[in-house]
Amino acid sequence: MTHSTLNPNTQKTAGGALARREIAREVATVLLEGFNKHYRLFRAASQEARRLWETREWLKLQQATTERIAFYDQRVVEATEELETKFSAGALDGETWQLIKLEYICLLIEHKQPELAESFFNSVCCKILHRTYFNNDFIFVRPGVSTEHIPSDPPAYRCYYPLKSGLRQSIHDVITDFGLQLPFQDLKRDLRRLIRRWRDLLPSPLVLEANHQIQILSSLFFRNTSAYLIGKVINGSQSHPFVIAIMQDQVGKLYIDTVLLEAEHLAVMLNSSRAYFMVDMEVPSAYVTFLRTLLPNKSKAELYSILGLQKQGKTLFYRDFLHHLAHSTDDFVIAPGIKGLVMAVFTLPSYPYVFKVIKDVIAPPKQINREQVKAKYQLVKRHDRVGRMADTLEYSNVAFPKSRFSQELLKELRDLAPSLLEEDEHTIVLRHLYIERRMVPLNIYLDKANDDQRTHALNEYGLAVKELAKANIFAGDLLFKNFGVTRYNRVIFYDYDEIDYITNCNFRRIPAPRNEEDEMAAEPWYSINPNDIFPEEFETFLLTDPRARAIFKQQHDDLFSAEEWKIIQSSLQSGEVPEVIPYPENIRFRNRYATDLAAPLRQLRNAESPKHQTMSNHPEGYDDGQGRPAPFGRFSIDTD
């Protein structure tokens, strides 16, 4: 589509109002075309993910996930340059920008992704306009178009009715209707295990209601080497969410690895501390709405982010933050814990996040500058976080009410990061900061932990270090203060200024001293290069508490061996892709039902009371005992 290049100065002529309206319409059209290009490419990448998964091209799938993150910023830059070239957008007056917003809203009336398009509008405006113009007259501080009940073709989710066709057939249809181009190892076996697991966890007894159905999101979710079906079982007013994980064996045959039913397992799997999903969505708001019914404690901001729409996640997070500020009165304070050398960290006690500002001067022994720190955080954003690194929101020019800052915090920011601080009588503006979910620092947690908690936390810490290593991440600074404990008692890494790729590291054993002088010397008797890592030293520097040392050495003694690190390094260098499992090993069907190779299906008839046929008596589905679908209300499911 071609656009006229009207001179904005024509606004001052007699026909200025008409010219202003025409410019506004043209600018709004260019903006929306920029967004539409972005989302078209976003969907194409998500669709390609399915082909890459089916052909087992794991490295290309990882690369596609990483490359997709940059799509948004690339389109924002393109749209900004086009608007400046064609319309001198930065010179347009305030009245014209108000008209541009109104014209843009008109273009979004029948749009399938209006909320994403509004965020795109904001991003371009922030590139063009000075931040003093960032108000609701010019940008979307609040949404301008509703995302409720936007039609989609096909619909965002589809429904199955077990009372009509039987549970086993319904679940068979749920899985096969996705049309995966690979055969299953043994689908009958997998369905039997899935129904058995379902039966173990559903409430007992489960009386079937008229509204008994299975709802499944219409697109598969791809991440790493797994594909996920996400849905819920509805029975009257009750809803039971689930996720079915599908994997491939070495010859490309499919198998169901597990079904996730517990809220904790769902929350950990659908978490922003992992790589973003690749999922094709025509109406993303419908997917977010569906997912919130499964995990009501997850914010829309986090759900958009895990779907790969992290810019929308940032928009919603900031709206939530402004709302919280307006409805709270506590002060921002310095975050508790050991202060770092790189970041000044503060928090709002009533809000579950921390705010991190890079210091102007980073003291020794750290040898890093602000740009290098920012590059490390970008690395984490692009990398698979494998559930062990916190996702971080990066913002520029964030305004805070000055009256809400404690005097101690104000002094610290003035002393440590004056170049990033602007202030007037009423406002503090931070030119750059990161925001992360608040966790209990591991060192503080261990100080207060009982024996069982300490054992669990130290094991989690070791697992975190190992899982990061398998994903080609060396945390660098392994001190406990750089790790946090989540509400699900998982240990997460959150301090990124010293991270590096495992493949960049040189893991070494400490050379034996040549003589007594070497052994008594204050300085090492051997040369040390910047990328040299000596795992033997971890025990000395990390495990100063004898109790922690004894526990950790029993659990993860291999972390002190340079040879073990080299094995991981070698597998990464050979191109192997690690299997990332976002749920406990003990719920995988291969482990839970290891001896269930050919478990017979039992069907027992309760002759005295047919109303009480149970799923445990008939694990293959709901029927009347003679292969016919059960009429509504006749049977209950006993999950004991």
Q: Which residues belong to the active site?
A: 391
Total Cβ atoms within 10 A of residue 85? 10
CA distances 351 to 287, 317, 417, 620, Å, are 26, 12, 23, 47
Chain centroid to Cα 613, Å, comes to: 42
Alpha carbons 546 and 554: distance in angstroms, whole number: 12
Are residues 567 and 541 in contact, defined by beta-carbon separation less than 8 angstroms?
no
How many Cβ atoms sit within 10 Å of the Cβ of residue 167? 26
Q: Are 206 and 79 a contacting pair, CB within 8 Å?
A: no
CA distance 232 to 158: 11
> In whole angstroms, what is the distance from residue 628 CA to residue 635 CA?
13
In terms of DSSP H, where are the helices of 442-596?
A: 442-448, 451-470, 516-520, 536-542, 546-556, 562-573, 589-592
Query: Which residue, 209, 22, 194, 211, is CA-closest to 100?
Result: 22
The beta strand positions in 303-352, using DSSP E, are: 333-334, 343-347
- Contact of 474 with 380, CB cutoff 8 Å: no
Which tokens in the block code for residue 11?
Answer: 């606004």
Task: Tell me if 323 sits within 8 A of 343, measured CB to CB.
Answer: no
**Residues 86/3, Cβ–Cβ less than 8 Å:** yes
